Structure 1
Amino acid sequence: MPPTQRLPEARELIEMDRYFVLHAPRQTGKTTMLRTLASELTAEGDIAALMFSCERAKSAGDDYAAAESLLLDSLREAAARSGWPKKLLPPDSWPQVTPGARFGSALSEWCRRCPRRVVLLLDEIDALQGNSMVSILSQLRHGHNARHEGQPFPASVVLCGLRDLRDYKVASGGEPGRSNPASPFNIVAKSLRLGDFTADDIAELYGQHTQQTGQEFTKDAVERVFELTQGQPWLVNALAHEVVFEMGVTGAVTAGQVEDAKERLIRTRATHLDSVMARLHEPRVKRVMEPVVAGTFPHIDPAFSDDLSYARDLGLIKQKPPLEVANPIYREVILRVLGDPSEQYVMADPRSFVLPDGRFDLPRLLEEFVVFWREHGEVLVRQEGYHEAACQIILMAFLHRLVNGGGYLDREYAAGTKRLDVLVRWPYTSPDGERLMQREAMELKVWRAGEHDPAPDGLAQLDRYLDRLTLSTGALVIFDRRLEAPPWQERGGFEQTTTPSGRQVTVLRV
């Protein structure tokens, strides 16, 4: 996708000689966009735009002198690879000045010699740490301000990384909520976020593949990709790659094949998914994600706003309310990752839950879960790091172990909903050979201390869920986490009831 199409403001800010932050989660196309933008700007003849990565400077830690050297080495190497004429390149040697001023002095010397306006695009700015971050940002601030006194310095600087402007302010000694003259980033004009793809963007990207190869993605396939990814660029690309290259599909790509590709991606836990999910146990991420999984309202304190911004910058949470996971693929992977320790306790054979006619035996699965809960529930709840969401995570682990491989699990959850909705989809073949899809819906509720029995609300909520799915039956699972709850060995009672509209429901209390 052309840079000006994905982020038109970036070009406008550069033309206005502004310094700004560009942030987005990993694997969203930031580096590709910066590289293309730099090439386009330089090709126009008035600007020398250079992109280079700060990643190598991560090893310097607080040693700002080492960080300066590593950054200048990366800058020179990027310039050497650019193919520019000699007159545009940085000088052969940098000014010999005191460490802590070398980076800014080097940029000034380059801009003094270069016949064009210099634009600098620093990728992976997050790699800088501690004193190194403070030093580099301070030198950029000093050079930015000195331009008004005639000192040569880059006309525009773009800092690209995962985090929003407020985190850079904190890292460089400023306060996130207000302008601070001592903060290196009171010079920043704006903080831009590289957005996700729209459905039309996905259609255009896949259309490029069709033009090159003749292989089409059906309209339903494109729509399913958007539903599963919500436009997250890496996932959009990964699903297409999985279908075309790993699954070897040669004809038109269908929504069903996209669904299969999604399952394969989740099972193999590609590097991108692992890197995102590795953040789940960071304290500031957990403070946001735990109420999302548990369906509770988050505890709002002065730090929560920063934690929420951080989780959004990582791409885990949607950018706008309600507070929920960014896309269905992440939603599924999160529960699988959190439930993995509990899943190791599930010894039942998945094949034993398949009925003679090929359908899935959900009533028996719930009965087996009662046995499992009585034996392992107390220990697993105590061990679960996401303690408030422990019950939901453990049941999801049990379901995943027994449904995955033959069927699909769809989960819906968000902060404040006080529930987790689950849909089991199980493909089977009818006696006359027709391919059918069994669908079983359930809702999970938790009875917490000081609350009323959640059954009435649960039945009403399940009623709406079943109506949306056009199903006539469902199951409601209620976990009792009150101090006065029955002993573990006595939990697991079943009852049959109906929703407000008359749908048949099995209620399990554990």
Structure 2
Amino acid sequence: MKPPAGDDVGWAESLLLDSLREAAARSGWPEELLPPDPWPQVTPGSRFGAALSEWCRRCPRRVVLFLDEIDALQGNSLVSILSQLRDGHNARPEGHPFPTSVVLCGLRDLRDYKVASGGEPSRSNPASPFNIVAKSLRLGDFTTDQIAELYDQHTQATGQEFTKDAVDRVFELTQEQPWLVNALAFETILQMGKTITITAGQVEDAKERLIRARATHLDTLVARLREPRVERVIEPILAGTWPSTDMSFDDDISYVHDLGLIRGTGGVEIANPIYREVLLRVLGARTERFVRADPRSFVLPDGRFDLPRLLQEFVVFWREHGEVLIRQEGYHEAACQIILMAFLHRLVNGGGHLDREYAAGTKRLDVLVRWPYTGPEGERLVQREAMELKVWRASENDPKPDGLAQLDRYLDRLTLTTGVLVIFDRRPEAPSWKERGGFEQAATPSGRQITLLRV
């Protein structure tokens, strides 16, 4: 598909027919199977259906049509193309030549295109072009065994092996999402060339390149983040709050699930770690532009990362820019989390990694900073620092007790002895911006020593 044609039906038809001709020309088919040249010249708004009918009339074989990235059509152009497909299909029993089957491939179920085209999702009309679907299918996720089998096929063909740790890391990062499984393998193989063995570290590097490059699949998902239906689902996940109980929210959940952004429809959480990272990076891009500190200045002489200094710098940043950034952030309920994540990403990501865990209803966002460095004996070590983010909202009690208990469990799972609890105060009676940023020491229920930052 080409770029969106919007309401220009004639342009949309021209783009589609040009794409069909180009695809057929590349196929190497014999002359009798190729589409007519030129296409029939008829009134715009009926050209696509007439062209398909003429092709099927001439072709000695049945035609099955696949239209990939149907999402590229919007507005009246989408309605027109679907209407022509419906009319052509309905005329087939009367002997009218038309494709035997048509497969529309895209990110959404066809019923959701009705909303994209300005229609009311709740209104049903049997004659609607959006009611032409015989069956709607979603490409399922791989299983762990299928990932191993897929990568083993590459090994058998090339001799290049993925270690078990590499395959396990692919599973962790993708949660078996098919496009990501293939994209990580392709990115790793492309960069490693003829290297015999591919490791988990190289998979991690491939993930970073994939995210930075904003490959087409990721970019398409990111473009959905500002849609109101998507924001209604994603915002409570980022904020850790409970989602709406509005009846229409179930439709929003199904829609975002069909996009592949969330896993399941019972519990509400982002589908995989790569999507979790991409969402926060994209939403925090505006904040990152405000961060002027030099990431290299946070590296200590022994190679470790200076997290205490980063927190102090964040206090200065928050006092200066926090109020403005919160006001500008579309995801208002999750603004604090987005801003701190952007600050961390700007200063940590050059030499380290951030792992984030968040879900609706948890009232927190957990962060693990992983910073590789070289020890005194030349050994490769990894510094790990855990943080938990909480928000103190109006009419709520101080979240410190819950935060300490939650952070205790997180540290226990990571086998760490210390951590940081950050509490954002969003109550109307919160201290003035210039007074925010107090540090204190606290202890978790199990006795772990914690740095508490209130901003």
TM over 0.5: yes
For 1:375 and 1:57, the matched residues in 2 are separated by: 41
Q: Deviation at 1:192?
A: 0.9
For 2:74 and 2:193, the matched residues in 1 are separated by: 44
Counting only pairs closer than 5 Å after superposition, residues 365-404 of structure 1 correspond to structure 2 as: 365-404=310-349
Q: Deviation at 1:75?
A: 3.4
Alignment correspondent of 1:32: none
Alignment correspondent of 2:154: 209
- Contact between 1:462 and 1:474, CA under 8 Å: does it hold in 2? yes
For 1:275 and 1:125, the matched residues in 2 are separated by: 13
**Secondary structure, counterpart of 2:160 in structure 1:** coil
For 2:213 and 2:423, the matched residues in 1 are separated by: 32
| Equivalent position amino acid for 1:499 in 2 | T
Counting only pairs closer than 5 Å after superposition, residues 415-494 of structure 1 correspond to structure 2 as: 415-494=360-439
Share of identical aligned residues, percent?
A: 81
- Contact between 2:111 and 2:130, CA under 8 Å: does it hold in 1? no
Alignment correspondent of 2:449: 504
Give the TM-score normalised by structure 2: 0.88
- Contact between 2:74 and 2:117, CA under 8 Å: does it hold in 1? no
For 1:502 and 1:493, the matched residues in 2 are separated by: 22
For 2:128 and 2:76, the matched residues in 1 are separated by: 13
Matching of residue 358 in structure 1 with residue 266 in structure 2:
no
Residue in structure 1 matching 2:233, options 271, 288, 310 = 288
Alignment correspondent of 2:211: 266
Instruction: Say which is worse superposed, 342-351 or 154-163, in terms of deviation.
Output: 342-351
For 1:408 and 1:96, the matched residues in 2 are separated by: 58
For 1:414 and 1:232, the matched residues in 2 are separated by: 19
| Equivalent position amino acid for 1:258 in 2 | V
- Contact between 1:170 and 1:176, CA under 8 Å: does it hold in 2? yes
Residue in structure 1 matching 2:272, options 327, 342, 364 = 327
- Contact between 2:64 and 2:102, CA under 8 Å: does it hold in 1? yes
Note closer, same or farther for the CA distance 1:255–1:149 as it changes in structure 2 (3 Å cut): same
Residue in structure 1 matching 2:182, options 237, 247, 252 = 237
- Contact between 2:3 and 2:72, CA under 8 Å: does it hold in 1? yes
- Contact between 1:491 and 1:509, CA under 8 Å: does it hold in 2? yes
- Contact between 1:243 and 1:249, CA under 8 Å: does it hold in 2? no
Q: Deviation at 1:323?
A: 1.9
Q: Deviation at 1:383?
A: 2.9
**Secondary structure, counterpart of 1:441 in structure 2:** strand
Residue in structure 1 matching 2:221, options 276, 291, 294 = 276
Alignment correspondent of 1:193: 138
For 2:394 and 2:33, the matched residues in 1 are separated by: 69
- Contact between 1:477 and 1:508, CA under 8 Å: does it hold in 2? yes
Note closer, same or farther for the CA distance 1:499–1:134 as it changes in structure 2 (3 Å cut): same
**Secondary structure, counterpart of 1:153 in structure 2:** coil
Give the TM-score normalised by structure 1: 0.80
Note closer, same or farther for the CA distance 1:201–1:179 as it changes in structure 2 (3 Å cut): farther
Gaps of 5+ in 1: 1-54
Note closer, same or farther for the CA distance 1:473–1:103 as it changes in structure 2 (3 Å cut): same
Note closer, same or farther for the CA distance 1:114–1:294 as it changes in structure 2 (3 Å cut): same
Instruction: Say which is worse superposed, 438-447 or 339-348, in terms of deviation.
Output: 339-348
Gaps of 5+ in 2: none
Q: Deviation at 1:473?
A: 1.9
Note closer, same or farther for the CA distance 1:114–1:499 as it changes in structure 2 (3 Å cut): same
- Contact between 1:285 and 1:311, CA under 8 Å: does it hold in 2? yes
For 1:138 and 1:347, the matched residues in 2 are separated by: 53
Residue in structure 1 matching 2:63, options 108, 112, 118 = 118
Deviations 1:317-369 (A, max 9, x none): 33444222222122122222222332333343434433444333323332332
| Equivalent position amino acid for 2:417 in 1 | S
- Contact between 1:276 and 1:314, CA under 8 Å: does it hold in 2? yes
- Contact between 2:160 and 2:194, CA under 8 Å: does it hold in 1? no
| Equivalent position amino acid for 1:445 in 2 | K
For 1:330 and 1:493, the matched residues in 2 are separated by: 33
Note closer, same or farther for the CA distance 1:182–1:379 as it changes in structure 2 (3 Å cut): same
Note closer, same or farther for the CA distance 1:56–1:249 as it changes in structure 2 (3 Å cut): closer
**Secondary structure, counterpart of 1:292 in structure 2:** helix
Alignment correspondent of 1:137: 82
Alignment correspondent of 1:31: none
Q: Deviation at 1:220?
A: 0.9
Q: Which has the higher contact order (CA 8 A, sep 6+)?
A: 1
- Contact between 1:79 and 1:90, CA under 8 Å: does it hold in 2? yes
Q: Deviation at 1:229?
A: 1.9
Q: Deviation at 1:403?
A: 2.0
Q: Deviation at 1:175?
A: 5.4
For 1:353 and 1:84, the matched residues in 2 are separated by: 61
